[in-house]
Amino acid sequence: MTDEVLYLGTKGSIAALERGSGERLWTTHLKGAGFVSILLDGDSVFAHTGGHLFRVDRMSGIVVWRSELSGLGYGYGTLATMGQDGTSTAATKMSAATKMSAQTSAAAASAAASAAASSASNGT
């Protein structure tokens, strides 16, 4: 498998797809049906979902190990590793849809506050 592979984390699973064709090379179900953050590191794909951390073989999709991360909860997680050049590489657990939802919510809250202020100043 070459660097022409795209890795996707979603709904408690990770999948490897061929970039050019979109052909699915393998899929591995990890846990639950939640969002999955992933980080590539050498021959491994590290994944966090449902309060568990997994190390998956990048070529086969086989789970090498898993850690239950007892006591750390089930929220969003961030994975990071030190790159070969000494810089940090991080994968955060916030999708574009989540970012857009947060921006939309902030805009709606701002508009509501503006409307309330306008009503208050107009005596309505």
Q: What is the pTM of this model?
A: 0.63
* Predicted local distance difference test score (pLDDT) of residue 98: 42
Domain assignment present for residue 30? The answer is yes
Q: Which range is most confident: 12-16, 97-101, 109-113, 115-119?
A: 12-16
Give the whole-angstrom CA distance, residue 56 versus residue 24: 16
Domain assignment present for residue 23? The answer is yes
Task: Domain count for the chain, please give it.
Answer: 1
**Mind listing the pLDDT tens digit for each residue in 67-100?**
887 666 666 677 666 666 655 555 544 444 444 4
Domain that holds residue 98: 5-118
Domain assignment present for residue 123? The answer is no
Residues 45/56, Cβ–Cβ less than 8 Å: yes
**What is the CATH classification number for the domain harbouring 66?**
2.40.10.480
